[in-house]
Amino acid sequence: MPALDSQNSLQKNKDPTLNEANLPEPPPFIHDQFFFFGDSITQSDGDPMLGFSCCQALQHDYSRRIDFVKRGFSGYNTVNALSILPRIFPSPEQGRVRLVESIFFGANDISLPETTGQHVPLHVFEENLRCLVKHPKIQAHDNIKILLITPPPIDEWGFDGWDEPGRSARTAVTAQGYAEGVKKVGDEMGVAVVDLWGACMREATVGWNASRQTERGVKPLMPGDKRAERSDVLSRLLHDGLHLSGDGYKILYQEIKQTIINAYPELRPCKIPVALEPFFPEWFEDNAPWLAIESKTKKVTLGDLTMPWSHSFDTSPDSALKNALRKDFHWGFATAAAQVEGAWNKDGKGESIWDKFCHTPGKVKDGSTNEDATRAYDLYKEDVALMKSYGVTAYRFSLAWSRIIPLGGAEDPINEQGVQYYNDLIDELIANDITPFVTLFHWDTPQALEDRYGGMLNQSKYTPDFLRYARLCFSRFGDRVKHWITYNEPGVYTLAGYAAGVHAPARSSFRDRNAEGDSSTETFIVAHTEIVTHARAAKIYRDEFKAHQKGVIGITLHGNYSEPWDANDPKDVEAAQRAREFEIAWFADPIYGSGEYPGSMRAQLGSRLPTFTAEEKELVKGSSDFYGMNTYTTFFVKHRSEDADINDHLGNIEKLDTNSEGESRGLESDTYWLRTAPEGFGKLLRWIWNRYHVPIYMTENGTTAKGEHVKAPPSEEVLDDTFRVDFYHSYLRELARAVQDGVDIRSYFGWTFTDNWEWAAGFEDRFGATWVDFESEEKTRYPKRSAYFLRDYFGHLITGK
């Protein structure tokens, strides 16, 4: 409903079809009030020509809870504000004001003194703000809360063509000073501040090369300064250099909401009761979009928490990125069976090496097992419904080999209950317009094969078992599955399981950790087995199924970008390249390149690195229809002068968190090795494309958030996962830019859909876009902000969305 002035009584509904006897008695006032008070930027909020209104969006969020009163005065500064406040601000008798939502002045105060007559010196401006905050008319209201809002940046470039030259008498530098003044007053008086200037500048400085924006090579210039390059971002946020555009009002809307959450959580919509009971309760569903999840055992709800802006985000990318991605681009989340399904010994499932590993004391950091995980096996219908509410178009999941063939072997019986589960999951996804991407192997070898002959260490015995399993999956599911992945991160499987021995099957040369194994040889034997059996499975699919099923098959490889520790040291530059070859080209060169292992690996490892036979080389080369890419971060790499250790698998290099200039590789997460590094991500996409030139499917990318594992819902501190949103935002920008540069990228899968059981880290590393209460029997799901961010952001990036 439109913004209202305060009123003291409710006029009863005159509709004769309503029974007036059932109407409740009116309260003293219909609603409490939020009061917007500012200059022309407040006045213009709601202009239909701009396409978005901050006030109207907030008004919608607080529907039937709060009245919004907007008082914007074009051309007014803080002196004018003080003079009119007594005449426009209601007394407590006229209506209770809960929040002076917007004391929003400064855009006129900053005018240069010799121009428009609106100028107010900075120290006077600050004192005027103090007087506004302390004004008796405002303070007469009990428990009133106040927000001060900084003026936006100034885009001097946007003043070109203004009819009144005096209006352009504002500078980018001056705007910053007055924004700092608002924050100073807020800190002094204990009043919350909405830093609109800072939020806009964060957008504008993404990709901003400050080193090029200097005055006479000395003083860095900020976006908006006409002595610097023009900022396309500020041009988008400020339609005339001073006033907010629709996109600018979206940022203001987001910042106001975030400040309310942080400073005045009692004023969140979910904490304010409606003034009158509705005749039709469903009217309120739009104000509580949190999905109720019903398990097979009992009703699972999301508690009494609601976040009415969970579906309202300022996700507009740079204008140049609009529709950057192809119309058939797939996006969604990735999971692994061992991490989410639970039901580890239910309905005929056999034991996997991870089932054995996690039941061995001391192997998992928090002592947990994957017996229940997230209960995805029982809750798959509810999970698919939740995914659909997130807007995903695809879901990448793995099949548990030991659920389909409990003992794993070519002659072992099939578990039809396991086959039926995956049939049901695939059908449920397709019924909800979600495309299944299926991984055959995500690290969970059947334990029976490990016991019989050592699993992948025995290629000759392992191969027919894996190929029988692959052929069975193609035949049972391939009529609906059009995207197949043979192995997920085969390098991590062998490095963690056979080199370091910290993952199943827990083999290595380190006897303080593992009873048996040889890190110097087994690591490469297992990798060779994975590459060759991948190629043989791909040949089966292409020869027997592809023609009528019309799908594609590939492999997913891990790899993080390596930057030289000292970019001016040729040895570090070479070490960074070598690190990428040991980590990525180890698998990628045989499959997408020459059919052989990289020369740098052969030079260091010699005969410990297996050799492809002529038949294997022909089979392996070109065996993947696409490049499945899992990546998370970037490392600085420094060369080592001494000879490589026999157990080295990295290329005789040292990985570091800072470079020779002391620059960090990125913001820390809750996972020791993972830091936010979007620039390295963009470089890696181009490196892979230039080296292999095959379509790229981004099959995993995501992050944990610092301290998230020790927090608990229902609190927005957990669910409003801004760190993860920023991670996804920065990485997806790089992905879209890479596409515009000609890199063929066809999917993006975030890691991951829900918090899950993270292998040897147990439940401590929370990567999910959905928070899971692992203490509850039902593993209750709570959507995080990042889930809705991804929905909205891909809506901007994908053509035709």
Q: Report the catalytic residues.
A: 489, 700
Q: What is the DSSP string of 324-384?
A: -B-TT-EEEEE--HHHH---TTSTTPPPBHHHHHHTSTTSSTTS--SSSTT-TTTSHHHHH
CB atoms within 10 A of CB 510: 14
DSSP annotation of 48: G
- Give CA–CA dist 398/293, Å, rounded: 23
Residues 126/77, Cβ–Cβ less than 8 Å: no
Q: Which residues fall within 8 angstroms of residue 565, CB to CB, at 6 or more apart?
A: 572, 575, 636, 637, 638, 654, 656, 659, 660
- Give CA–CA dist 390/788, Å, rounded: 6
Q: What is the DSSP string of 236-299?
A: HHBTTSSSB-HHHHHHHHHHHHHHHHHH-GGGSGGGS--SS--SSGGGGGGG--PPPEE-SSSE
Does residue 113 have a cis bond before it (omega within 30 degrees)?
A: no
Give the torsion through C-alpha atoms of 704, 706, 711, 714, to 10 deg.
-60
CB atoms within 10 A of CB 448: 21
- Residue 800 zone, left/alpha/beta (φ > 0; ψ -120 to 50; rest): left
- Give CA–CA dist 698/728, Å, rounded: 13
- At residue 517, the 3 state secondary structure works out as coil
- At residue 507, the 3 state secondary structure works out as coil
- Give CA–CA dist 228/213, Å, rounded: 5
Residues 516/507, Cβ–Cβ less than 8 Å: yes
Distance from chain centroid for Cα 165: 44
Residues 472/408, Cβ–Cβ less than 8 Å: no
Residues 380/370, Cβ–Cβ less than 8 Å: no
- Give CA–CA dist 66/170, Å, rounded: 36
For 1-18, letters b (16+ CB in 10 Å) and e give eebeebeeebeeeeeeee
Residue whose C-alpha is closest to residue 603's, from 572, 573, 580, 582: 582
- At residue 398, the 3 state secondary structure works out as strand
Q: In 420-540, where do the E strands start and end?
A: 435-441, 483-488
User: Crossing angle of helices 785-797/380-390, nearest 10°?
Assistant: 50
